[in-house]
Amino acid sequence: MSDRLSGNEAVAYALKQINPDVMGAFPITPSTEIPEYFAQYVADGEVNTEYVTVESEHSSMSVCIAAQAAGARAVCATSSAGLALMYELLYIAASCRLPVTLACVNRALSGPININNDHSDSMGARDTGWIQIYAENNQEAYDNFLMAMPIGETPSVRLPVMTCMDGFITSHAVENIELLETEVVRKFIGEYNPENYLLKKENPLAVGPYDVSPYYMEHKVLEAEAMKAAKARILEVATEFEKISGRRYGLFEEYRMEDAELALVLIGSTAGTAKAAVDKLREDGVKAGLIKIRVFRPFPGEELARALANTKAVAVMDKSEGFSANGGPLFAETRSALYDLKERPYLIDIVYGLGGRDVKTEDIEKVFGRLANIAATGEIGPVYTHMGQRSKEENA
């Protein structure tokens, strides 16, 4: 069925259809609407979720971890500082192998405090052991959230899943959306029936040991293997989802990449802007394309390398600043992925859009202009630059 919803509404609606057992709720801009909409569903008796209005994001994640361990399906939503406050617990959720689902509405991190979009919050959590799936728009935010549980809860995976969308740009903009019937959603998600859980009658469960050196490393290897196993499961779930929705998802989306010589690698809503720029350049005869990373964890390194193998110059666009002095996190992953190619394209990193700094089609066209120049001359120039900031010097 068709509707018009904001990204936050779309995720809240997905939550209503799923009717999870427990929600840990705490407000933070721009994700606040998710627990707000959901609270109304609870108040109206449309769901019978145990809705726990905690005193911090730290506690919302703590509630989710414990509820999931107890045998419940637990969810929460957050942004920015909220995710940062959960930092320690994100590791605990993953290392205890508890498939909690979290809707992250991406927002810049302090300081200075800023409520607008970039990816510094979830990128800061990229090594916590969570599966991370990013949306370009409302439709994807809804679809990704529906796919999260079948991915995370699979016994061979058992990892928490963070579905991300861009704050305000996606979370608050109302767009057309195709929603699935609730019955179809429930059948797709299925029941959560873990083999062992705290409330199980037949045998107790002990969770969260003190792990000494002779065991810790082995447990981390188990976790790392689960993250590897997640890749195949994500694709499997995407195939199942296509059957009920007609919408196809992969680890990333390739846009006009068939014969592309110049390409962008980016994440999230900027893809919409960039696709318009690609279309315009294609009309001008430029062989431009883009790759929108959907799944950042597990990182689709080999697949990305194959997709970029025939390009000449690639710009990675990082919507977060990692302060490595060597480029952003997406750049680090992409450059690493390309290392195994026999012939590698030229690669640059552009950090952009921090704290809600706007990016327009003209900005993207300029990036392609730079790539065209690099491809033609072989002169790569500065590898790691910022875009969109005021400067005394001309910038990218």
Partner 1 sequence: MIYAKDINERTPWQELTPGGEIYEPGTARLFNTGTWRTNTPVFHEAACKHCMLCVPFCPDNAIPVQDGKRLDFDFMHCKGCGICENVCPFQAITMVSGGAPNE
Partner 2 sequence: MSTVYNLKREVEKPARFTGGHRLCAGCGAGIVVSGVLRALDNEDRAVVVNATSCLEVSTFMYPYTAYMDSYIHSAFENSAATCSGVEAAYHALKRRGKVEGTVKFITFGGDGGTYDIGFQSLSGAMERGHDMVYVCYDNEAYMNTGIQRSSSTPHFARTTTTPVGSVGQGKKQNKKDLTEILVAHNIPYAAQAAPIGNFKDLHTKSYKAIYTEGPCFLNVLSPCPRGWDYPTEKLAEIARLAVDTCVWPLYEVEEGVWRLTYIPKKKLPVEDFLRPQGRFRHMFEKGNEWMLEEAQAYVDQKWERLLERTGA
Taking CB under 8 A as the criterion, the residue among 46, 211, 236, 358 binding partner 1 is 211
Cross-strand pairs, 23: 51, 75
Q: What are the backbone angles phi and psi of residue 361, rounded to the nearest 5°?
A: -60, -35
Query: With binding defined as CB under 8 A, does residue 206 bind partner 2?
Result: yes
Helix (H) or strand (E) holding 23: strand 22-25
Query: With binding defined as CB under 8 A, does residue 366 bind partner 1?
Result: no
Residue 69 CB, shortest distance to partner 1, in Å, is 9
d(CA 318, CA 327): 8
Q: Which residue has the tokens 């000494």?
A: 212
Residue 202 CB-density burial (10 A; 0-12 exposed, 13-18 middle, 19+ buried): exposed
Query: With binding defined as CB under 8 A, does residue 52 bind partner 2?
Result: yes
Taking CB under 8 A as the criterion, the residue among 3, 27, 39, 54 binding partner 2 is 54
Size of the site for partner 1 (CB under 8 A): 23
CB 347 within 8 A of CB 335: yes
Give the residue with the Cβ less far from partner 2, 54 or 184: 54
Q: Could you tell which of partner 1, partner 2, none binds residue 288, using a CB distance below 5 to 8 A set by kind?
A: none
The Cβ-side half-sphere exposure at 289, using a 13 Å CA radius, reads 18
Query: With binding defined as CB under 8 A, does residue 56 bind partner 2?
Result: yes
Query: With binding defined as CB under 8 A, does residue 62 bind partner 1?
Result: no
- Cβ neighbors of 331 (< 8 A, separation 6 or more) are 316, 318, 347, 349, 384
Query: With binding defined as CB under 8 A, does residue 199 bind partner 1?
Result: no
Query: With binding defined as CB under 8 A, does residue 22 bind partner 2?
Result: yes
Residue 343 CB, shortest distance to partner 1, in Å, is 37
The Cβ-side half-sphere exposure at 113, using a 13 Å CA radius, reads 5
Identify each DSSP E strand in 273-312 by its residue range. Answer: 288-293, 295-297
Residue 66 CB, shortest distance to partner 2, in Å, is 3
Query: With binding defined as CB under 8 A, does residue 206 bind partner 1?
Result: yes
Query: With binding defined as CB under 8 A, does residue 200 bind partner 2?
Result: yes
d(CA 85, CA 249): 31
Of residues 225-284, which lie at the interface with partner 1 (CB under 8 A)? Answer: 226
Give the residue with the Cβ less far from partner 2, 1 or 206: 206
Residue 196 CB, shortest distance to partner 2, in Å, is 9
Taking CB under 8 A as the criterion, the residue among 45, 183, 193, 203 binding partner 1 is 203
CB 126 within 8 A of CB 213: no
Sign of CA dihedral 294, 297, 302, 304: positive
The region of 49-57, 202-210, 261-269, 286-294 touching partner 1 under the rule CB under 8 A is 202-210
The region of 19-27, 89-97, 236-244, 285-293 touching partner 1 under the rule CB under 8 A is 89-97
Contact residues: partner 2, CB under 8 A = 21-22, 24, 48-50, 52-56, 58-59, 62-72, 74, 88-89, 92, 96, 198-201, 204-212, 215
